[in-house]
Amino acid sequence: MAVTSKTMKQQFKKLLSVARKQAVSVRDYAQATTASQQVKQLNASNSKMYALEPRIMFDAAALTTAVETIAEAEPAPTESDPAPDAQLLVDGITQVQPVNSVLFVDSAVQDYQSLINGVQAGTQVVILDANQDGVQQIANTLSQYSNLTSIQIISHGSQGQLSLGNASLSQSSLDSYQTALQSWGDALSETGDILFYGCNVAEGSAGNQFIQQLSTITGADIAASNDNTGSAALGGDWVLEESTGDIEVGSVLDSAATNDYAAILAVVATDATWLANAGDTWTQTPDADGNTLASTADSIYLDTLTTPNDADGGTGYTIATSGGGFQLDAITFRGVANPTANPYVIEIWADGNSANKFTQTINAGLALNAIVNFDLSADTNFNNITSFKIHFLGTGGGGGESPWNLDLINFTTAPLNVAPAIGGTSTGQAVNDTGTVSLFSGVTVSDAEGDNVTATITLDTAAKGVFTAASLTASGFSTANGGLTYTHASVTAAAMQADIRLLSYDPADNRVAPGSTETTTFTIGIDDGTTTTNDATTTVVSTSINDIPTDIALTSSSVNQSGGVNAVVGTLSNTDADTGQSYTYTLVAGTGDTNNGSFNISGTSLRANNSSLLAAGTYNIRVNVNDGAANFEEAMTITIVDDVVPTVTSVSSSTGDGSYKAGDVIAVTVQFSEVVN
């Protein structure tokens, strides 16, 4: 909206008048004006900026522009009207220092207001919105700045990790935030530094590697703590023990504020990916006094407090998920103190049931900031729960508040593994033994936790059939155990489903008589690394198809003349892929049937009607075999073998006996039983 010079002048004079009436200097007014402008800018990026005491300086660039605009709108000054208001504002601006550091504070930090009350001059404070990505909020804010001497961040932390808004900045997320983190570095001067105030961020090799990688991405020197940050009474301090280079800037925090701070900045990481059902969240129930557990998007912790025990009306704390079950493996209490002479007791109730509880005694005289660990991994009561309740007990029924000065509670969970699911299997799928079948075309595979899965498919009998070579190649399955099992390496459930559907089964041919059937049962096993689900409902019924005989054989193709009537030439047989069939052999007309009339078939025996009547030589016949459904014919040649010695059947002469004399020629005829040569 356009603003006239007259309007601007009137508004400016009105503001100056108010300032004079409240006895504030132009310098204070300039700071308030700039703070207002910056708050509006930060609101646009879902962050909160706090205008602090007058000694905290803000960027005067916007004010300078405003003054120039007002000066241009003023009438030219005269000796009688020297425009003192504009000059007074300019004089005030010369006292304003530019912003040289930005302090970001995560709103999940307990009592953060006490920390930001005393920051150094030249520091802008931004409170991160708990419902927004804090890494991106910081990047959005810093896009308005350049040449900063430092970026300082207060948040809950743990080894190699910071909680910022609803995001977690850790080594595993650095790559995804690379663009945003580079913009952090762009806002700094060449010697600008980044300081992290959070517990244990730079602890150990993992923490050191985290800040080194962050330094590489931002191009800035990083300083962070390798131990508890915060209240000395709880074992914390404000020293940043680890750095990636020379840190030229000091903390913008006021030492009095940090000395008085009564908490530590540790984060209790609870990995949300273990939840059994997507969308599950943590919920909590306050105790009888209304004390509750503080939480961020990825942590739950107990703010420093003294909580009543059960004898004093305490009801404990219930922590639950919104849906899926889990296994509670361990709980750690840190910042525990028991300076009394009596031991105290903590109980953990599975699903709020006092009958299923784990009890641990806190020894008397325990020093402040002690750590108490509960190992529940072997307690089966905590294997499948959706909540647990923490009870703080006194001793001997005595009254008075128990000394539970707790800073945080850390609990370790394991997912209640949901077994992978198999669906869409089918029974009684029909196929001929000469064909193939895609028996798993409707199968579904899923895993509630999104785990990768392996697969094993087992046949009840390996000899009944195989998956085709082409489908094995396409699907990634390999055979084992002589074809009894087929296995697939680990992939996502969706990929496994797709690969199983590619399998094609080829039943073995002719394992049963034609027209008969054989059933093969397949067991699919899907394993997510924790649980295997087996499904044995897939069956294939293969029907044996009749095959036509392909050859006729004869054990002998010759017969002796001496064989006589029904002399056996040989035994007939045939070549047929089928099993369990009966065959009928007959002599049939057709090519090569010339001598069918001299032979006959009895069962599988080929016989000569009377071999003694057949002259030696070869004879042609045609034989047919029938398998009950199909016929096959073949021409054969049979040899008749002369194995009979000729005999004289008669002798006669041209002259009768006794009527011939020497010198006569007598014609003698000898008759043999067969032709002789």
Does some domain include residue 544? Answer: no
- Per residue in 450-476, pLDDT (tens digit) is 899 999 999 999 999 999 999 999 999
Same domain, yes or no, for 316 and 393?
A: yes
Residue 228 DSSP SS3: coil
- Mean pLDDT (the chain, rounded): 77
220, part of any domain: yes
In a domain, 253, yes or no: yes
Per-residue exposure over 525-546, b if at least 16 CB sit within 10 Å of its own CB, e if not: bbbbeeeebebeebbbebbbbb
Strand 188-197 vs strand 148-154: parallel, antiparallel, or unpaired?
A: parallel
Domain assignment present for residue 51? The answer is no
By mean pLDDT, which of 8-22, 232-246, 460-474, 583-597 is the weakest?
8-22
Q: Which domain-ending residue is among 68, 96, 124?
A: 96
Is residue 365 one of the residues assigned to a domain?
Answer: yes
Q: Strand, helix or coil at 13?
A: helix
Residue 53 in any domain: the answer is no
Q: Quote the pLDDT of residue 341.
A: 54
Tens of pLDDT, residues 140-155: 999 999 999 999 999 9
In this structure, the answer to whether residues 459 and 493 fall within a common structural domain is: yes
Q: Are residues 123 and 253 in the same domain?
A: yes
pLDDT band at 656 (very low <50, low <70, confident <90, very high): low
User: Does residue 229 lie within any of the structural domains?
Assistant: yes
Residue 142: give the domain boundaries.
99-263
Any idea what the CATH number is for the domain that residue 572 is in? 2.60.40.2710
One domain for residues 110 and 222? yes
Q: pLDDT tens for residues 335-386?
A: 555 555 566 677 888 887 888 888 877 666 655 455 667 788 788 888 777 7
Proportion of the chain above pLDDT 90, given as a percent: 47
Examine the domain organization and report whether 111 and 91 are in the same domain.
no
Domain assignment present for 52: no
Among 246, 263, 280, residue at a domain's last position? 263
Higher pLDDT pick, 257 / 673: 257
Place of tokens 């045939």: 574
- My answer on whether 521 and 611 are in the same domain is no
Pair 83, 131 in one domain = no
What single string gives the DSSP state of each residue in 660-671?
--TT----EEEE
Query: For position 182, what pLDDT does the model report?
Result: 96
Residue 375's pLDDT is 82
Q: Assess whether 427 and 494 both reside in one domain.
A: yes
Q: pLDDT tens, 211-240?
A: 999 999 999 999 999 988 887 766 689 999
Q: How many domains does the chain have?
A: 6
Q: What CATH number does the domain containing 337 carry?
A: 2.60.120
Taking alpha carbons only, the member of 555, 561, 550, 569 closest to residue 620 is 569
Least confident of 217-221, 390-394, 408-412: 408-412
Least confident of 29-38, 229-238, 383-392: 29-38
DSSP-derived secondary structure for 153-215: EE--EETTEEEEBTEEEEGGGTTTTHHHHHHHHHTEEEEEEEEEESTTTT-HHHHHHHHHHHH
- Token pair for 489: 């390496």
Do 103 and 86 fall into the same domain? no
**Do 107 and 253 sit in the same domain of this protein?**
yes
Q: For residues 627 and 654, state if they share a domain.
A: no
Rg of the chain (C-alpha set): 51
pLDDT-based confidence at 38, cuts 50/70/90?
Answer: very low
Residue 348, pLDDT score: 82
- Could you give the angle at which helices 5-21 and 84-93 cross, rounded to 10 degrees? 70
Query: What residues contact 443, with CB distance under 8 A and at least 6 apart?
Result: 422, 423, 424, 425, 497, 500, 501, 524, 538
- Among the candidates 36, 67, 96, a domain finishes at 96
Q: Are residues 471 and 402 in the same domain?
A: no
